[in-house]
């Protein structure tokens, strides 16, 4: 206590004068303030020596001590001060440690919270502007020390301004007591004229008023730019109290306000259009993205009051009420509405409106974030449509789409009120847009949603006739069966409707009871079969037949005959060898043979059509397709192996009945697979079960897990693709993704003379490879109308027989007859074949031929079709003309 100030060098190298006094009480502080003035003057550079010192002196606090509590005092010899030429200073660290129990800053930085932001406030900077040092300036100086503030001292208006512009002090104290040195108000004004001063609190130190003097108004000071008046009082604690009150009040508020600049910077750079309005919908802020989106300059919108919605349209008013009810309750609303740009274009926006609580705990702002509903490109087109297309009623329609600001002169729009209002064209149903709003609010947008949104937007800008046509389009798009042709017109041929109905429905009209009984050989084990022969050891008649295996005209029925209805194992071994399947799977021929045997054994030889000959036929077609350059060029070896395996197993354990039948009969399989892709699911699952059941026939046992998974996935995908309910989906996807891009590529490359066999992007897009594989197995599965006439007729006979048998059983069991035309007494097989070709085959093979180049198949198809047409024209219902039958 009462010790002379000591000098020390701070960590930053600044030389300070330290007051070592333990001024922990007002009394002590007061004593110090009076006592030190004289003491300190010894350290001061005298006024007459002012030329030799800078006009601005710095006081900087040190970082807080590492461990507050035990007092640390560094002392230096007073002489050091003189050597360093320092005037006077003191360590705030010292002050902190000395007065840690008092309301004095403990650390040089402070944590401040504003909303969700956490900030760190640096020590407050104070600028003292006093022409001459005296007790009062000392009082503030030491108060700064105590509070841990950084302090600068300036004597002249010029140096004060210069220092302020350099440091942007939070608090400035200006000596307003003596008019003779400088004009305090003029200094204040000059500082207030600078931008950084908007966040600075300026204090005027005024002389004490004596008892006989009148209290004067602070207004002149306020007008000059001062924020506060401080009545002269050189007590350090008085100065300290003043400073820390300012810090905790205005300085802290200003600090928070400045932090909000970062938020505005973020808003300014945000890609979404942002608008902030008052609770009365007066625009308070829009960001540059908003200006771009709406075509207005912010100056045109700021402060505009928004009009009330014309209540003419009931639906629109409903939506407005809904939105207002929502946001007025403090809840967020999001949805879609139409806004009008300055140019007059109407744009569809997805909007999210969030109410913000402010003064008085009330909603004081609405923050709207807006995005264009479709891509920029679409909006550009939309704008173009608007510019180019001027149709009748345009004005009235557009008028009803948006709501304008009261200030019509400037044509600024009421974006806020648009937010709260639906804005449909009168000709369109508003309800739809309300539900569209719900779709828009979904986070994950499905492609179909995007398509519907684009159409919706286009409707908004279309003449009534187009909008109505698009309504119809939307109706269609909203159905789930996008790829299924719709039947049911009166003039539809019953053969077609029965076939389509029979093949393309899962039979959700399932009746109870009447379990379908599977044929006896289901799940037959390979061990019941005779000892297998090797591929090199096949009987000569079979080997001879198989020599022709690569030809499309290969006769599978002859193979069926010579192999005693086991064509699959013989053809399979030959084909799989040709494609190096054993090498790929790293399995022996014996394993493969065992596998073929178990798979073939699980085809029902009692089925007239869906037996192992059909499987062998599909395998044959698949192998044939895989030999085509385009197919080969676009698939990998794994795809080839997967396709051959899929073809082999694709109808295993087929009961000779359709999915609809199984569902109607309430079969175990239909129950197991929930009436959905019942047979295809069963074929796939069973194939893998049979394969894994016994190591001897497990062709996958030697491939690694990853290969197996990829292969398995490909096989499952292909077998499931044979399900006819998805027929049109697969064909359409193939046409859109493969045929169409290929056609345009060919047009381009023809001019450049390219002969590339790769379909465009196939190699880059595995999904395109998947489409090719699906199409390939589908075509192989129903290739029988493209086989040579005799084979085609045989297949038609077999499938018809299987259908007849099903109808017979349905009648016997009292089940719904799925395909009534397939009644053996009445059916016209030619008609059914014509329908089948017309409906399922022609388009699909056109597309497949365009890709794989299959002229032979197309020729057969034409011949076969003609055959059926001829028979039909001759009113012949059987496979051949009676004369031929006799042959």
Question: What residues line the site for Zn ion (CB under 5 A)?
Answer: 651, 781
The residue whose two tokens read 């069973």 is 686
- The residue among 456 and 833 lying less far from ligand AMP, judged by its C-beta, is 833
611 is in an annotated binding site: yes
Cα→Cα distances 342→287, 296, 345, 685, Å: 16, 6, 7, 62
796 binds, among ligand AMP, Zn ion, none (CB under 5 to 8 A by kind): ligand AMP
- The residue among 586 and 676 lying less far from ligand AMP, judged by its C-beta, is 676
478, 452 Cβ separation under 8 angstroms: yes
- The residue among 567 and 785 lying less far from ligand AMP, judged by its C-beta, is 785
Cα→Cα distances 607→123, 420, 647, Å: 92, 66, 18
Which chain residues interact with ligand AMP by CB under 6 A? 503, 610, 650-651, 722, 724, 781-782, 784-785, 795-796, 799, 833, 836
659 binds, among ligand AMP, Zn ion, none (CB under 5 to 8 A by kind): none
Cα→Cα distances 529→376, 533, 595, 689, 695, Å: 67, 11, 12, 19, 17
Task: Tell me the C-alpha distance between 15 and 7, whole Å.
Answer: 7
724 binds, among ligand AMP, Zn ion, none (CB under 5 to 8 A by kind): ligand AMP
640 binds, among ligand AMP, Zn ion, none (CB under 5 to 8 A by kind): none
- The residue among 584 and 661 lying less far from ligand AMP, judged by its C-beta, is 661
Compute and round to an integer the Cα radius of gyration of the chain: 45
784 binds, among ligand AMP, Zn ion, none (CB under 5 to 8 A by kind): ligand AMP
**Minimum distance from CB of 369 to ligand AMP (Å)?**
52
Q: What angle do CA 638, 639, 643 make, to 5 degrees?
A: 120
Task: Tell me the C-alpha distance between 779 and 773, whole Å.
Answer: 10
**Minimum distance from CB of 437 to ligand AMP (Å)?**
43
- The residue among 651 and 810 lying less far from Zn ion, judged by its C-beta, is 651
Task: Tell me the C-alpha distance between 239 and 231, whole Å.
Answer: 10
497 is in an annotated binding site: no
600, 568 Cβ separation under 8 angstroms: yes
- The residue among 374 and 799 lying less far from ligand AMP, judged by its C-beta, is 799
444, 438 Cβ separation under 8 angstroms: no
615, 651 Cβ separation under 8 angstroms: yes
255 binds, among ligand AMP, Zn ion, none (CB under 5 to 8 A by kind): none
153 binds, among ligand AMP, Zn ion, none (CB under 5 to 8 A by kind): none
Dihedral angle, C-alpha 676, 678, 683, 684, nearest 10 °: 20
For every residue of 531-592, which 3-state class applies, written as one string? CCCCHHHCCHHHHHHHCCCCCCCCCHHHHHHHCCCCHHHHHHHHHHHHCCHHHHHCCCHHHH
879, 833 Cβ separation under 8 angstroms: no
**Minimum distance from CB of 671 to ligand AMP (Å)?**
20
Nearest to 643 by CA among 579, 703, 718, 713: 718
**Minimum distance from CB of 727 to ligand AMP (Å)?**
9
Partners of 368 in beta bridges: 275, 353
- State phi, psi for 181 to the nearest 5 degrees: -90, -50
- The residue among 456 and 835 lying less far from ligand AMP, judged by its C-beta, is 835
Three-class secondary structure of residue 13 per DSSP: coil
Nearest to 503 by CA among 518, 515, 485, 519: 485
121 is in an annotated binding site: no
**Minimum distance from CB of 380 to ligand AMP (Å)?**
47
808 is in an annotated binding site: no
663 binds, among Zn ion, ligand AMP, none (CB under 5 to 8 A by kind): none
- The residue among 677 and 690 lying less far from ligand AMP, judged by its C-beta, is 677
**Minimum distance from CB of 609 to Zn ion (Å)?**
8
Nearest to 486 by CA among 724, 755, 792, 728: 728
**Minimum distance from CB of 614 to ligand AMP (Å)?**
6
- State phi, psi for 55 to the nearest 5 degrees: -75, -10
Residues 6+ apart with CB under 8 A from 701: 587, 591, 695
660 binds, among Zn ion, ligand AMP, none (CB under 5 to 8 A by kind): none
Three-class secondary structure of residue 875 per DSSP: coil
Burial status of residue 120 (CB atoms within 10 A of its CB: 0-12, 13-18, 19 or more): exposed
613 is in an annotated binding site: yes
- The residue among 20 and 667 lying less far from ligand AMP, judged by its C-beta, is 667
96, 125 Cβ separation under 8 angstroms: no
**Minimum distance from CB of 785 to ligand AMP (Å)?**
6
Task: Tell me the C-alpha distance between 650 and 643, whole Å.
Answer: 10
Q: What angle do CA 798, 800, 804 make, to 5 degrees?
A: 115
**Minimum distance from CB of 569 to ligand AMP (Å)?**
19
Q: Which of 169, 604, 610, 682 is catalytic?
A: 610
Burial status of residue 70 (CB atoms within 10 A of its CB: 0-12, 13-18, 19 or more): exposed
**Minimum distance from CB of 615 to ligand AMP (Å)?**
9
Three-class secondary structure of residue 119 per DSSP: strand
781 is in an annotated binding site: yes
Is 610 assigned a catalytic role?
Answer: yes
248 is in an annotated binding site: no
Nearest to 830 by CA among 781, 798, 865, 784: 865
End-to-end Cα separation, the chain, in angstroms: 135
- The residue among 197 and 684 lying less far from ligand AMP, judged by its C-beta, is 684
200 binds, among Zn ion, ligand AMP, none (CB under 5 to 8 A by kind): none
Burial 226-259 (b: 16+ CB within 10 A, else e): bbbebebbbbbbbbbbbbbebbeebbbeebbebb
**Minimum distance from CB of 729 to ligand AMP (Å)?**
15
What is the secondary structure of 767-818 as a DSSP string? HHHHHHHHHHHHHHHT-GGGS-HHHHHHHHHHHHHHHHHHHHHHHHHT---S
- The residue among 169 and 654 lying less far from Zn ion, judged by its C-beta, is 654
Q: Which residues are annotated as a binding site for AMP?
A: 610-614, 651, 781, 833
- Residue list, annotated binding site for Zn(2+): 614, 650-651, 781
Binding residues: 610-614, 650-651, 781, 833
Q: Which residues are catalytic?
A: 610
């Amino acid at each position: 206590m009462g010790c002379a100030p000591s000098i020390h060098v701070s960590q930053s190298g600044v030389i300070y004068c330290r007051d070592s006094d333990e001024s922990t009480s007002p009394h002590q502080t007061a004593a110090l303030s009076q006592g030190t003035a004289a003491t300190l003057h010894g350290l001061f550079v005298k006024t007459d020596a002012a030329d030799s010192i800078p006009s601005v002196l710095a006081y900087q606090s040190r970082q807080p001590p590492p461990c507050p509590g035990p007092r640390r005092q560094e002392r230096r010899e007073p002489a050091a001060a003189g050597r360093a030429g320092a005037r006077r200073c003191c360590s705030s660290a010292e002050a902190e440690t000395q007065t840690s129990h008092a309301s004095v800053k403990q650390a040089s930085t402070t944590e401040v919270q504003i909303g969700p932001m956490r900030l760190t406030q640096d020590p407050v900077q104070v600028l003292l502007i006093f022409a001459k040092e005296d007790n009062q300036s000392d009082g503030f100086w030491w108060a700064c020390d105590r509070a841990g503030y950084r302090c600068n001292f300036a004597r002249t208006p010029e140096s004060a301004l210069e220092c302020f512009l350099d440091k942007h002090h939070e608090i400035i104290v200006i000596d307003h007591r003596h008019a003779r040195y400088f004009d305090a108000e003029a200094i204040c004004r000059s500082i207030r004229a600078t931008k950084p001063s908007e966040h600075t609190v300026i204090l005027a130190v005024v002389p004490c008023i004596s008892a006989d003097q009148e209290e004067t108004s602070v207004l002149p000071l306020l007008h000059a730019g001062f924020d506060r008046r401080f009545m002269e009082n050189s007590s350090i604690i008085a100065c300290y109290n003043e400073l820390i009150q300012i810090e905790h009040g205005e300085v802290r508020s200003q600090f928070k306000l400045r932090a909000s600049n970062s938020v505005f910077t973020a808003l300014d750079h945000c890609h979404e259009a942002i608008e902030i309005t008052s609770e009365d919908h007066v625009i308070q802020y829009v960001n540059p993205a908003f200006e771009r989106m709406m075509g207005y300059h912010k100056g045109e919108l700021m402060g505009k009051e928004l009009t009330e919605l014309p209540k003419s349209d009931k639906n629109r008013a409903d939506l407005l009420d809904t939105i207002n009810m929502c946001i007025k309750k403090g809840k967020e609303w999001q949805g879609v509405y139409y806004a009008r740009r300055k140019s007059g274009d109407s744009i569809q926006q997805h909007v999210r409106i969030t109410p913000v609580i402010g003064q008085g705990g009330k909603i004081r702002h609405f923050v709207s974030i807006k995005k264009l509903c479709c891509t920029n490109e679409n909006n550009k087109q939309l704008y173009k449509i608007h510019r180019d297309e001027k149709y009748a009623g345009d004005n009235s329609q557009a008028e009803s789409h948006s709501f304008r600001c009261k200030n019509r002169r400037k044509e600024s729009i009421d974006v806020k009120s648009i937010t709260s209002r639906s804005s449909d064209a009168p000709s369109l149903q508003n309800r739809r847009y309300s539900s569209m709003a719900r779709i828009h609010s979904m986070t994950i947008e499905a492609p179909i949603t995007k398509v519907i949104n684009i159409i919706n937007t286009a409707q908004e800008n279309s003449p009534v006739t187009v909008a109505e046509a698009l309504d119809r389009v939307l109706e269609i798009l909203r159905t789930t069966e996008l790829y299924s042709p719709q039947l049911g017109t009166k003039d539809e041929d019953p053969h077609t409707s029965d076939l389509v109905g029979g093949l393309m429905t899962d039979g959700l009209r399932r009746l109870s009871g009447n379990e379908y009984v599977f044929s006896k050989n289901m799940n037959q084990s390979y061990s019941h079969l005779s000892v297998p022969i090797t591929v090199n050891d096949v009987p000569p008649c079979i080997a001879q037949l198989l020599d022709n295996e690569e030809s499309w005209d290969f006769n599978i029925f002859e193979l069926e005959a010579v192999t005693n209805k086991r064509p699959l194992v013989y053809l399979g071994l030959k084909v799989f060898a040709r494609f190096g399947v054993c090498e790929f799977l790293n399995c022996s021929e014996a394993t493969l043979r065992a596998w073929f045997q178990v798979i073939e054994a699980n085809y029902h030889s009692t089925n007239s059509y869906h037996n192992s000959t059909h499987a062998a036929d599909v395998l044959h077609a698949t192998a044939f397709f895989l030999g085509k350059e385009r197919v080969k060029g676009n698939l990998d070896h794994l795809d080839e192996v997967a396709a051959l395996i899929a073809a082999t197993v694709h109808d295993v354990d087929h009961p000779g009945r359709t999915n609809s039948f199984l569902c109607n009969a309430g079969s175990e399989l239909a129950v197991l697979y929930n009436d959905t892709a019942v047979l295809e699911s069963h074929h796939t699952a069973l194939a893998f079960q049979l394969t894994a059941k016994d190591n001897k026939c497990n062709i996958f046992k030697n491939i690694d897990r990853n290969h197996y998974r990829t292969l398995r996935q490909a096989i499952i995908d292909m077998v499931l693709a044979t399900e006819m309910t998805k027929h049109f989906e697969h064909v359409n996807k193939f046409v859109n993704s493969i045929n169409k891009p290929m056609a345009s590529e060919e047009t381009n490359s023809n001019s450049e003379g390219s002969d590339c066999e790769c379909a465009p992007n196939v190699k880059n897009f595995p999904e395109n490879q998947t489409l090719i594989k699906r199409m390939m197995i589908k075509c192989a599965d129903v290739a029988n109308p493209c086989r040579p006439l005799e084979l085609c007729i045989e297949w038609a006979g077999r499938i018809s027989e299987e259908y007849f048998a099903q109808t017979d059983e349905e009648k016997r069991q009292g089940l719904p007859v799925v395909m009534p035309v397939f009644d053996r007494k009445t059916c016209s097989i030619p008609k059914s074949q014509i329908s089948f070709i017309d409906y399922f085959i022609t388009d699909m093979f056109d597309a497949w031929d365009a890709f794989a180049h299959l002229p032979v198949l197309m020729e057969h198809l034409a011949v076969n079709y003609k055959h059926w047409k001829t028979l039909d024209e001759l009113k012949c219902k059987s496979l051949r003309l009676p004369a031929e039958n006799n042959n």
